[in-house]
Amino acid sequence: MSLTDTASLHQRIRADIEARILGGDWPPGHRLPVEAELMTQYGCSRMTVNKAVSALADAGLIVRRRRAGSFVARPRIHSAVLDIPDIQSEITARGEAYAFRLLSVRRRAPARGDADEAELAGGGALLALRGAHLASGRPFALEERLISLRAAPAAAEADFALVSPGAWLLEHVAWTEAENRISAINADGPVAEALALDPGAACLVVRRRTWRAGERITNVRLVFPGEAYELVARFGPGQA
């Protein structure tokens, strides 16, 4: 086999595995076939397989664990600019009991004239969810989320009364890009009621959008009581 053939084969192996991950066939945490299996499947050397797998690891799509194998990476919840921990993890780290209260869920078309919702739907339907994250029984955050059923069709059958939408998505849908937008609001009636606040109370809002290889997956709006949440960023003068 020539050097050119070897190069093209490792690129093909990488592309095949990447397609399975981004297509949702291999969800986060899925164990990849071991190198020997891939060598047999593609009729190539260990070096060729290793090169393909290393490229996937460098791209952040898989993680390699010594003596355990390679696994589809679980997306990190942290923003590249602001450290925004997973809500459930933060609450339990405080020693408090976590719960998610589903307030509403419905399948619907994108709102007429809303270009962002139309792009998210991608010609399909949206799953609209609203719920509250609780810390020791007290409201900690209000979540309003839209999920593209074209990108994540299994969401239509998920029981979000048992698992929060964010936790479900992390377990079942790989993503490759995320965007966070941070702002502040004064709580209107529905927000104040959901978070047990006085109307007009200061709140922090985190809006997040995620993509998988250019395909939109979800939009979420998280609203936190202003006095209960803090965003911290640490950086040096040489960091963008």
Give the pLDDT score at 227.
65
Q: What is the pTM of this model?
A: 0.70
CA 112 to chain centre: 26
Determine whether domain 87-228 maps to CATH 3.40.50.1360. Answer: no
Give the pLDDT score at 177.
85
Place of tokens 């690891």: 57
Residue ranges of domains in the chain: 3-72, 87-228
| Weakly modelled stretches of the chain, pLDDT under 70 | 1-7, 74-85, 227-240
Q: Which of 141, 185, 182, 186 is nearest to 164 (CA)?
A: 141
Contact 130, 144 (CB under 8 A): yes
Q: So what's the architecture of 3-72 in CATH? A: Orthogonal Bundle (1.10)
Alpha helices (runs of H) in the chain, residue ranges in sequence order: 3-22, 35-42, 46-58, 87-93, 115-121, 165-172, 189-194
Give the pLDDT score at 79.
38
At 54-89, the pLDDT tens digits run 999 888 888 888 778 898 886 543 334 444 457 888
Give the pLDDT score at 158.
96
CA 53 to chain centre: 22
What are the strands, taking DSSP E only, across the chain?
A: 62-65, 69-72, 98-108, 126-135, 138-148, 177-186, 202-212, 215-225
How does DSSP classify residue 228? G
Give the pLDDT score at 74.
66
